[in-house]
Amino acid sequence: MSELVRVTAHFMVLIAPFDGDLNRRVERTLHDFLASQGIHSPPLQEHLDHGLPSLENLKALLLRRQAAAVDLPDGYAPNWLAMMLFNHTQDQSLALVRDVNRYYNQHFSPLDRRDPAYRRVVVVAQPGDEGLLPAISDLLSQKPSSVGGADLSFTPDLVKLLDSFRSAVTGTRQQIGVLESENARLRQQVEGYERGRFMQFMRRVQDWKKRVGLA
């Protein structure tokens, strides 16, 4: 970190999760969820083994180097965890994951720069450039009222929305299962009809053979 500060000419931006009770609980929840599905995440395991960096220690280091900094929230923790759990749920179609993430990026991501946040955006300024930090902070803190024409004044609860997606998918799968069962039943019925017609045809052929003296 000291070397990064040393070689920075004007500004440096760090985006990372930092240590705290919330992040420890969030990462433990995700780690246990992945483990229950046989998924190993080296980054999460590293965080659990060695801990996350301390934001306070980082600020102290910057102070010693006479560098000024502002930190801003990024990645609203409840939504971050919900999406991570959703994206790593087994038997999830790639098309559904893609569509849900596209919807999330349009309707939720623009509002993710708020607390409680999983990540922090730390903007570091070298001596002489610190006067721009308030403007940078204001710029990064702005929350758009709309994105791509979508009104963001009303944001549905993400967890309920994901549950709705799952329910819809489950319902669709069940409906497909019913249709497949019905299709199999009809196929058997048609095959039965075909076998019956074939037997009738063979009996007629046999009768014709008898009539012409071939049987």
- Give per-residue pLDDT as tens, 28-67: 999 999 998 899 999 999 999 999 999 999 999 999 999 9
Can you give the pLDDT at residue 215?
57
CA distance 113 to 120: 9
CA distance 112 to 13: 18
What is the phi/psi pair of residue 85, to 5°? -65, -40
How many C-beta atoms surround the C-beta of residue 122 within 10 A?
A: 20
Can you give the pLDDT at residue 63?
94
pLDDT score of 145 more than 60: no
Averaged pLDDT score across all residues of the chain: 82
Q: In the chain, what are the domain boundaries?
A: 2-154, 156-215
Q: What is the pTM of this model?
A: 0.67
DSSP run (H or E) holding 131: none
Q: How confident is the model at residue 161 (pLDDT cuts 50, 70, 90)?
A: low
Mean pLDDT confidence for 137-166: 61
Collect all residues with Cβ–Cβ distance below 8 Å to 122 and sequence separation of at least 6. 13, 14, 15, 16, 55, 58, 69, 70, 71
Of the given ranges (91-105, 108-122, 150-164), which has the lowest mean pLDDT? 150-164
DSSP run (H or E) holding 12: strand 11-17
Q: What is the DSSP string of 32-55?
A: HHHHHTT---HHHHHHHHH-PPPH
Mean pLDDT confidence for 119-130: 96
